[in-house]
Structure 1
Amino acid sequence: MPKIITVAARKGGVGKTTLAYELAYLLDAPLVDLEFDDGSATRIWGYRHEARTRAPLLDAIERGTVPRVLKGHRKPDLVPCHPDFQLNQPDADSMATILETWAEQWGRDFVVVDTHGGGSPSGDGAIAAASHVIVPVPLRTKDLNATESMVREMPDFPLILAPSMVPRVPPAAEIQRIRNIIKDTPVTVARPIPYVRGIETRKKRIALTSEQPIPKAYTAFADALHALADSLKGENL
């Protein structure tokens, strides 16, 4: 069975979509976009639902078919989302079954799912279906509060906390708080993903990790993403 990697967080603005986009590219995985707001992976990819007459994600769910993934140059393969998905998403159990069916039919080693920040029924389904749930965690009080609630809610899920937007000198108190959050749980912590100025306003649609050579300013960021992808491939978590 292919492995479903779900990227989820109980709060928006944590770097979730960037992480999902890059991981899907590095894992050569279809990226199923369940983020129905602007700023989604679908927008980053360059897909504009306004120019289309059909909604592949909604059509596949309604008809019980497997969507055809969109392919692009140096971008992850994509199943694009649509704003109407917000009001037409399946319940959690149905979404989990749908994703498992699609993953099996695609026959790829991995499928990456990006979810709506803050949670949603479809996101809960993607978490339930996941082999691993990657949770981006900026070292900020509100983000740590949301992450702590998530870990308390689902300590038996295969959560991997990924410290994100980490400054060059990480704040010691926040690092210790992450240790406290995962204490006495099976939750693991990935290599920190450093903050890179300008990443949130980057205009290129290609995956940053596809650039050769990687711009010097992005090297540490790309290295952390490669390390996470390699860990998922090797199950060295």
Structure 2
Amino acid sequence: MSDSTVGEAVRSTAKVTDAPNGAAISPRAHTALERLGIASSPELRALLPRLIVTVAAWKGGVGKTEIAKELAYLLDGVLVDLDWDEGGATRNWGYRHEARTTAPLLDALDSGRVPRPLSGGGVRADLIPSHPDFAINQPAADRMATTLEHWSQALGRPLVIDTHPGGVPSTMGAVGAAHVVVVPVNLETRALRATEGMAQELQGGFPLLFVLNRVEAAPESELKQLEKLSEMFDIPVGPVVSSHAFLKRRKLTMAVCAPGRSGEIPARAAEFVGEMHDVAKRVLETAVLNARAQAEGETEDQHV
């Protein structure tokens, strides 16, 4: 899954510049690339305004929400929360549905209008919050996918979607709409079984990317099992995110990757922030490669 041209663009620390033909990069795309310290390229400029990244897993408790909210911040995207459980991204962001008279996610689905994301104030991603009633008001998978694609086009920014565990309709729709599906993988027996079930169910073209998450150790048998899954289903394995004790007790609603008042990342968070930067860069690299492969496939079909 490596490509020297794309890889160099994503790993570069050069400042973002305008396109060679003079076309300026959008301010939000500029912010995303600047946060990640990577160079602009024609492919990234074309992709970022329509990028959809879905974070999904068939087992709960593997760290989906942490990855989703940090990716959304780093990409200066909109965090779309499709997980109705109380421990999801919406609560973590600081939103309480009990104190609101509207339900943006449900209202948008009912009306067919594009929801207006709630501002994260520059310290966390903008949010389309979930609601407990979404559990019994999910659209069918095809409609959910079409809706997310419409929102992405209308908003002109990346969407990062946190999903409910398992293959529920809204999760399947979010997977179907995604340029990249980030699958957090814990190196534990039950979590790996769930990951295998997910890979079996979704085999056939879905752009999955395994990300080892909450890694405390690297047990040989579990690593071999993951390697087998990666090879069997042709799913690349992305960067590793370690287990960080401070995340379990953290009460701040701002993104961990957002600098504090000092303008710097606290020392205890530095390793995690570096790992999330690596994940975000790999997501962009994978999305570019997937988009390139899709375009080449469409060109070949036209010539048949």
Superposition RMSD in Å: 1.4
Deviations 1:1-48 (A, max 9, x none): 612100000010000001100000001110110000111111011111
Tell me what 2:105 maps to: 57
Tell me what 2:207 maps to: 158
After TM superposition, give the deviation of residue 175 of structure 1 in Å: 1.4
Of 208-217 and 148-157, more deviation after overlay is shown by 208-217
Alignment partner of 1:118 is 2:166 = yes
Q: Partners in 2 of 1:218 and 1:171 — Cα distance?
A: 25
Residues 135 and 83 from structure 1, CA distance in 2 versus in 1: closer, same or farther, beyond 3 angstroms? same
Tell me what 2:89 maps to: 41
After TM superposition, give the deviation of residue 72 of structure 1 in Å: 1.9
Q: Greater relative contact order (Cα 8 A, min sep 6): structure 1 or 2?
A: 1
Bigger radius of gyration, 1 or 2?
2
Q: Partners in 1 of 2:207 and 2:81 — Cα distance?
A: 20
Write the letter of the residue equivalent to 2:73: Y
Of 213-222 and 224-233, more deviation after overlay is shown by 213-222
Tell me what 1:90 maps to: 139
Tell me what 1:15 maps to: 63
After TM superposition, give the deviation of residue 221 of structure 1 in Å: 1.6
When the two structures are superposed, what TM-score results if normalisation uses the length of structure 1? 0.95
Alignment partner of 1:101 is 2:101 = no
Any conservation in 1 of the 2:183–2:208 contact (CA below 8 Å)?
Answer: yes
When the two structures are superposed, what TM-score results if normalisation uses the length of structure 2? 0.75
Deviations 1:194-224 (A, max 9, x none): 0001312210100001134323332222111
Tell me what 1:27 maps to: 75
Any conservation in 2 of the 1:151–1:182 contact (CA below 8 Å)?
Answer: no
Write the letter of the residue equivalent to 1:225: M
Tell me what 2:27 maps to: none
Q: Partners in 2 of 1:161 and 1:200 — Cα distance?
A: 22
Write the letter of the residue equivalent to 1:223: G
Deviations 1:46-73 (A, max 9, x none): 1110011110100000000000000123
Q: Pick from 280, 291, 298 the counterpart of residue 229 of structure 1.
A: 280
Tell me what 2:129 maps to: 80
User: Within 5 A, what are the aligned runs for 1:75-224?
Assistant: 75-108=124-157, 110-155=158-203, 156-167=205-216, 169-211=217-259, 212-224=263-275
Deviations 1:85-125 (A, max 9, x none): 001110101100000000000011x2100000223110110
Q: Partners in 2 of 1:231 and 1:57 — Cα distance?
A: 29
Q: Secondary structure at the match of 2:67?
A: helix
Where does the alignment leave 5 or more consecutive residues of structure 2 unmatched?
1-46, 290-304
Any conservation in 2 of the 1:33–1:41 contact (CA below 8 Å)?
Answer: yes
Any conservation in 2 of the 1:135–1:162 contact (CA below 8 Å)?
Answer: yes
Q: Partners in 2 of 1:45 and 1:119 — Cα distance?
A: 24
Any conservation in 1 of the 2:53–2:182 contact (CA below 8 Å)?
Answer: yes
Write the letter of the residue equivalent to 1:229: A
Q: Secondary structure at the match of 1:105?
A: helix
Q: Secondary structure at the match of 1:11?
A: coil
Q: Partners in 2 of 1:107 and 1:67 — Cα distance?
A: 13
Q: Partners in 2 of 1:17 and 1:232 — Cα distance?
A: 16
Structure 1 residue ranges (4+ consecutive) displaced by more than 3 angstroms after TM superposition: 234-237
Q: Partners in 2 of 1:174 and 1:220 — Cα distance?
A: 24
Tell me what 2:6 maps to: none
Aligned residues: percent identity?
47
After TM superposition, give the deviation of residue 177 of structure 1 in Å: 1.2
Any conservation in 1 of the 2:184–2:211 contact (CA below 8 Å)?
Answer: yes
Any conservation in 1 of the 2:163–2:171 contact (CA below 8 Å)?
Answer: yes
Any conservation in 1 of the 2:239–2:282 contact (CA below 8 Å)?
Answer: no
Deviations 1:164-215 (A, max 9, x none): 0001x42222111110111133211111100001312210100001134323
After TM superposition, give the deviation of residue 143 of structure 1 in Å: 0.3
